Every structure is written in C-alpha cells, then in structure tokens.
Amino acid sequence: MRWSRSGYLTLLAAALLWTGGFFAAPLLHGAGHDGVAIFGRMFYAPVCHQDAARSFALFGWPLSVCHRCASIYIVFTAVLLAYPLLRRRTFFVSLPLSRLAIFILPMLLDYVLDVLGVWNNGAISRAVSGSIAGAGLAVFTVPAWMEAWTARKRHHDADHKEVAE
C-alpha cells in the first residue's frame, strides 16, 4: 500500500475542516453569533437540503447538513483518521467499483423505498446507511488518493533529478 505523510495530512486537514465546519453552526448559535452561524450554514446549502427535521441537533440547534450527509462525512473522516493503523490490512487495498456499489446500495434503498412508500426511513436508518456509504467511499478513495499523491511526487522528483543532471 502506497503511503505519503504529506498526502495523508492534506486529505485529513480537508476532511477535518469540512466535517468540523458543519458542527460549527450550532456552536456559533450557542455562543450568540447567529449571523456568522447562518453564514456558515449557507456554505453547506449547495450540498444538502438542510431540513432541520432531518438533521442531528447539537445544543438544540441542527447541524449544517442532514442525518445522511453528516453520517457519510463523519465516518469518512473517522476511517481516514484510522487509515495509518488500517492501511496494511488486506481490505484496504483499493476497493473495486462493484464492491463500492454494495456499500452505497443500503443508502439508495433507504431513499428509494421511502419515496415509493414501501419503507419509512428514520434518523437511524439514514445514519446507518449513510455511515456504510461513507466507509465504502473512504476505503475506495483514500488508497487512490495516496496512489495519485505518490505518483505526483515521483514525477516531481524525477523532473528535479533531470534538471540537476
């Protein structure tokens, strides 16, 4: 498994900023900074419906994204945090697309069956199916990201070597 400390830290910083960002709005509301909190919510508006009734709450205020999105991002970040410990495990070899689909399927079923009236999804089903999708996305993308990052570094080092010669 390819590993780059700088590649890992870059991805981790982005994931932590993104995940921390949607926890910021309720904390800011709690601190009385409503204007800044709403501004923060506006940032996440293009990526989520932000229905307060379908969102986890912190100190009585909804997060900036819904149950499903929050679960995807939190679990993605959690898997990324655990990546240095897990990267030598056999399952952490870049996941084939067909297996990624298996991770996404529960989330799709949870949504589609609810729309069709066959199943009533709730906070738990949305969170669990979102978590499964988030884990699958992390297992699929993190090794690929490392592969791209280490290849970029190899090209960069090779170019510098040629210039030096």
Binding site for other proteins (CB under 8 A): 14, 18, 29, 34-35, 37-39, 42-43, 46-49, 51-53, 68-69, 72-73, 94, 97, 140-141, 144-145, 147-149, 151-152, 155, 158-159, 162
Which three-class secondary structure string do you get for 38-84? HHHHHHHHHHCCCCHHHCCEECCEECCCCHHHHHHHHHHHHHHHHHH
For residue 152, the minimal CB distance to other proteins (Å) is 5
Distance CA 91, CA 93 (A): 5
For residue 122, the minimal CB distance to other proteins (Å) is 18
Distance CA 136, CA 133 (A): 5
Nearer Cβ to other proteins, position 96 or 122? Answer: 96
List, in order, residues 6 or more apart from 41 with CB less than 8 Å away: 25, 50, 64
Contact 84/22 with Cβ under 8 angstroms? no
Cα pseudo-dihedral 107, 108, 114, 119, rounded to 10: -70
Contact 63/26 with Cβ under 8 angstroms? yes
Nearer Cβ to other proteins, position 16 or 52? Answer: 52
Nearer Cβ to other proteins, position 38 or 82? Answer: 38
Nearer Cβ to other proteins, position 57 or 82? Answer: 57
For residue 48, the minimal CB distance to other proteins (Å) is 6
For residue 118, the minimal CB distance to other proteins (Å) is 20
For residue 1, the minimal CB distance to other proteins (Å) is 14
Nearer Cβ to other proteins, position 34 or 84? Answer: 34
